[in-house]
Amino acid sequence: MSSVEHLPSDEVSDDEASINNFFEDMLDAVEESDSDGSEDGYASEQLLSEEKCREMRTYLRAYGEQKFLKKYLLDNKSEASDPSELPIREVLYALGIRSSLVLEDLDETTLVQLLQLAITRELRRRISLDNVTTLDDVISLIKNSKNIVLLTGAGISTSLGIPDFRSDSGIYRKLEAMGLSEPQEVFDLHVFREDPSIFYTFSKEILPTVTRFSPTHAFIKLIQDNGKLLTNYTQNIDNLESHAGISTDKLVQCHGSFASATCQTCGHKVPGQELFPDIRMGVVSHCKLPASADADDSSSSTRKRKRKAAYDEDEDEDDDDDDQEQAVQESTLAGSRSLCNGVMKPDITFFGEALPKTFETRLLGQDIDKCDMLICIGTSLKVAPVSEIIMVLPAHIPQIYISRTPCTHAEFDVSLLGNCDDVVEYICTKLGHGWELKHEMITENGFNGEVAKTGERTYKFTRPSDAEGKEVRDIAPPKGD
């Protein structure tokens, strides 16, 4: 699940925030298209050599934004023989914006705004460590580290059939197919308060249906069992870390979970499973806690005062008829007020809702000083503030990335691309004694795929494919949930 990116209200206006979000989304889309090679034009033609691109990025970091723009944009533009050939496109290319659809079709004003964001991202980008570059380095780091921080996302649960949110087969696409024009509104706190039925109509799509955990969850448990887990920050709301045995004092559920729920009227908490029948039926779940005694006493006193006033005004009215009518009214009121009846909300973090306090207190109060290795697994790192962990931790701390697709907006020391379960199975095999990964879903004879170095600091994990191009996995049949 996701959480809203918090912007300081006294520094960024709503309009500015909307503009920033627009260009953030545009830049994310460009980086994704560039990483999968789906765009033509500049992505393959190369406006500048990679050596020149590195030179420009190095200059930006060394001399700052103003000198960078003067040297590579303003001076070049004034000397350009053809004013229509904007040097800004070359600068954007050097900063990693290489989509021909963007560089050719956007006007200069829009490109300038995009350039500002690209520069900001580049200046914030962490520089990879010179002494951590290979898969062997990753194995050595896990062996020797004592306080590993793990940041996990939906990719560690997809092998169990639990969809992510943003992929082509993810939750948001399903909600769109069900007729919801703005899928994220399902998880918007303001929308929930105005009309909780929207959430309850669609939330069955994200309701946890399994208690089994994946091999990647088991790998995290191994890190804990070997005394090396400092903290597991999870963005997932399926609560499978708890089923895998991750200790509560080692786990921060950044976006909450379905494990519990809270009444939005009286604050009463219940186990999340009590809401599941209502969620499956698509009906709003209400609080079944008895209404407060104070409220009942107050209502009773009011009714007594009204009865006395009515009696004083008409002493001749038939007492028996009045008492009988009043008894019926009180019975009706008592029935409607016997329960709190407030709307129940699962304790998952909605857009517009603050993250648990433990997120910030643990990260800044402990992990920033103790962490000696960061492993990000199965997350695209697109949702702040959780994604900011990679920039909050000191830059000298080794950072490893494990996921199906590369992360183009962050600088990891080593990226291991493939199914998360495959990668951790391979890692455990290399770690040796004490790291035996025992799980019903892993291959019986160890990882039988290929590991290829596909770029600097990047490795690709693939399995043999059958005639239809589907991955072949020699796995034991899963047990019941």
Q: Tell me the pLDDT band of 279, cut-offs 50, 70 and 90.
A: very high
| Residues with Cβ within 8 Å of residue 401, at least 6 apart in sequence | 376, 407, 410, 412, 414, 415, 416
The DSSP code sequence of 263-289 is ETTT--EEEGGGGHHHHHHT---B--S
Contact of 34 with 99, CB cutoff 8 Å = yes
Pairwise pLDDT comparison (374 vs 103), residue with the higher score = 374
Pairwise pLDDT comparison (424 vs 298), residue with the higher score = 424
Please determine, for residue 80, whether its predicted confidence score (pLDDT) is greater than 50: no
| Residues with Cβ within 8 Å of residue 160, at least 6 apart in sequence | 210, 212, 213, 214, 240
pLDDT digits 0-9 by tens, 159-182? 988 876 666 666 667 666 666 667
Pairwise pLDDT comparison (46 vs 452), residue with the higher score = 452
User: Which pLDDT does position 430 carry in this prediction?
Assistant: 94
Contact of 128 with 106, CB cutoff 8 Å = no
Cα distance between residue 402 and residue 458, in whole Å: 10
Pairwise pLDDT comparison (417 vs 319), residue with the higher score = 417
| Most confident range, picked from 7-11, 20-24, 378-382 | 378-382
Q: What is the mean pLDDT of residues 315-326?
A: 56
Q: Tell me the pLDDT band of 481, cut-offs 50, 70 and 90.
A: very low
- Selected catalytic residue, list 255, 286, 409, 439: 255
Indicate the pTM of the whole model. 0.71
255 is catalytic: yes
Lowest mean pLDDT among 111-120, 426-435, 468-477: 468-477
| Residues with Cβ within 8 Å of residue 136, at least 6 apart in sequence | none
Pairwise pLDDT comparison (200 vs 106), residue with the higher score = 200
User: Which pLDDT does position 400 carry in this prediction?
Assistant: 98
pLDDT digits 0-9 by tens, 21-45? 555 555 555 555 444 444 444 444 5
Q: What is the mean pLDDT of residues 258-275?
A: 93
User: Which pLDDT does position 113 carry in this prediction?
Assistant: 85
437: which DSSP letter?
-
Q: What are phi and psi of 255, to 5 degrees?
A: -110, 25
Enter the tokens of residue 436.
């035996």
Please determine, for residue 215, whether its predicted confidence score (pLDDT) is greater than 90: yes
Please determine, for residue 96, whether its predicted confidence score (pLDDT) is greater than 60: yes
Lowest mean pLDDT among 59-63, 98-102, 215-219, 395-399: 98-102
Question: pLDDT over 90 for what percent of the chain?
Answer: 42
Please determine, for residue 397, whether its predicted confidence score (pLDDT) is greater than 90: yes
pLDDT digits 0-9 by tens, 330-373? 554 455 558 899 999 999 998 888 888 999 999 999 999 999 99
Q: What is the mean pLDDT of residues 313-332?
A: 54
Strands (E) located in 77-161: 148-152
User: Which pLDDT does position 3 carry in this prediction?
Assistant: 35
User: Which pLDDT does position 150 carry in this prediction?
Assistant: 98
